Amino acid sequence: MEHFDVAIIGLGPAGSALARQLAGSKRVIALDKKHQHGTDGFTKPCGGLLAPDAQRSFIRDGITLPVEVIANPQIFSVKTVDVETSLTRNYQRSYININRHAFDLWMKSLIPDDVVVHHDSLCQKIWREEGKWQVVFHSDGQKQHVTADYLVGADGANSLVHRHLYPDHQIRKYVAIQQWFVEQHPAPFYSCIFDNDVTNCYSWSISKDGYFIFGGAYPMKEGQQRFESLKEKMAAFHFRFGEKVKSEKCTVLFPSRWADFICGKENAFLIGEAAGFISASSLEGISYALDSAEILNSVLKNKAEDPNDAYWRATRKLRIKLYGKIIKSRCLTAPGLRKLLMQSNVAHIPLNINEPTCRDYTTENL
């Protein structure tokens, strides 16, 4: 049975960043459900917007984004829609519009060859025995078993590692639903939609490479009905749903308290969404995945006496920032406060072009 310093479960942005950073200093094995190339197998449903904090992480690592992962077009504002009051406002944003699957594969391709990577593989079981982590996974058509000093759960919202370490710990989970349509709008746009009748989180749309992606995060109960009812309402805001190309669904964490952020124990660590590191106000998670990987890399390289305690302390700033997002989310999803914010016109950029208003819209306009 092969032994490694570190076993990383999951190569989304968090796991890929950590595997790349640890290469050369530790013997690392990394397991990931996604294939190495192409669009077969597991793909992560995502809006594919790279926030400034994620861009900053790439700056620190001296990494530039290849054009193959960038989607068309780049959009500079988000149209915020409050369905109840019919208010819409435009706020400047500096996201990079990316193809999320291409981005994930590109991040995996940056992992140096001395890391043992198993693509298209599934970690099935983990446990701790005689001071080592035991990892059983399925790869290349067979069951395999390795051991490691350190185990890293970078396996996202449904983390096996999180469930193993904290079987009783529940973070609020929503179902994220996205549908892709052939783009029919005259001008591509991003939007962020609030409708408390449908969800106390939020919904969104993104134009990407000739498609119009419409999605949202909804309570698990009746998630699909809520999504469909919002789609109907959005016609009144000039949203055009062309030919449907695909539907995607996955679990997304929606942290609501300080205790939702959990970092690991007994030489096992959680990074990225597996640790609950996702913004409750925007569901933006790539930057926190990258930041937590960077923090864990330095903890493991510095050989702290108690690495779990060192990682917990080192993520304090990140956790405080994420707690701030919980408070922001409570403000944004409170109808009265949101109405006041939007009516204040602070940071709103009015359009110089004619956009039919909600009131003068009829289906014949489409």
Residue 152 binding ligand FAD, by CB under 6 A: no
Residue 156 binding ligand FAD, by CB under 6 A: yes
The residue from 6, 13, 20, 115 that contacts ligand FAD (CB under 6 A) is 13
Residue 15 binding ligand FAD, by CB under 6 A: yes
Residue of this chain nearest to ligand FAD (CB atom): 285
Angle made by CA atoms 310, 316, 318, in degrees to the nearest 5: 120
CA distance 177 to 269: 29
Give whichever of 85 and 200 is closer to ligand FAD, judged by the CB atom. 200
Size of the site for ligand FAD (CB under 6 A): 38
Among positions 77-106, residues that touch ligand FAD (CB under 6 A) are none
Among positions 209-228, residues that touch ligand FAD (CB under 6 A) are 215
Q: What residues pair up with 88 in beta bridges, in sequence order?
A: 81
Residue 32 binding ligand FAD, by CB under 6 A: yes
Pair 11, 154: CB distance under 8 Å: yes
The residue from 4, 8, 10, 213 that contacts ligand FAD (CB under 6 A) is 10
Residue 260 binding ligand FAD, by CB under 6 A: no
CB of 148 to ligand FAD, least distance (A): 14
Residue 33 binding ligand FAD, by CB under 6 A: yes
CA distance 266 to 271: 15
Q: Which two tokens stand for residue 50?
A: 């790279």
CA distance 43 to 278: 19
Among the residue ranges 7-15, 181-189, 237-245, 309-317, the one whose residues contact ligand FAD (CB under 6 A): 7-15
How many angstroms separate the Cα of 51 from the Cα of each of 6, 98, 197, 288, 309? Answer: 29, 11, 28, 10, 29
As a 3-state breakdown, the chain gives helix, strand, coil percent values, each rounded to 5, of: 30, 30, 40
Give whichever of 156 and 223 is closer to ligand FAD, judged by the CB atom. 156
Give whichever of 82 and 273 is closer to ligand FAD, judged by the CB atom. 273
CB of 9 to ligand FAD, least distance (A): 5
The residue from 252, 262, 332, 342 that contacts ligand FAD (CB under 6 A) is 252
Hey, how many other C-beta atoms are within 10 angstroms of the C-beta on 155?
Answer: 27
The residue from 5, 27, 36, 44 that contacts ligand FAD (CB under 6 A) is 44
What are phi and psi for residue 88, nearest 5 degrees? -130, 140
What character string, x for contact with ligand FAD (CB under 6 A) and - otherwise, covers 266-285? ------xxx---x----xxx
The residue assigned the tokens 């594919």 is 48
The residue from 23, 250, 334, 358 that contacts ligand FAD (CB under 6 A) is 250
Residue 42 binding ligand FAD, by CB under 6 A: yes
Pair 57, 287: CB distance under 8 Å: yes
Residues in contact with 230: Cβ distance below 8 Å, sequence separation at least 6, in sequence order: 83, 193, 195, 198, 203, 216
What are phi and psi for residue 244, nearest 5 degrees? -75, 130
Contacts with ligand FAD, residue ranges (CB under 6 A): 9-10, 12-15, 31-34, 42, 44-49, 51, 122-123, 154-156, 160, 176, 178, 215, 250, 252, 272-274, 278, 283-286, 289
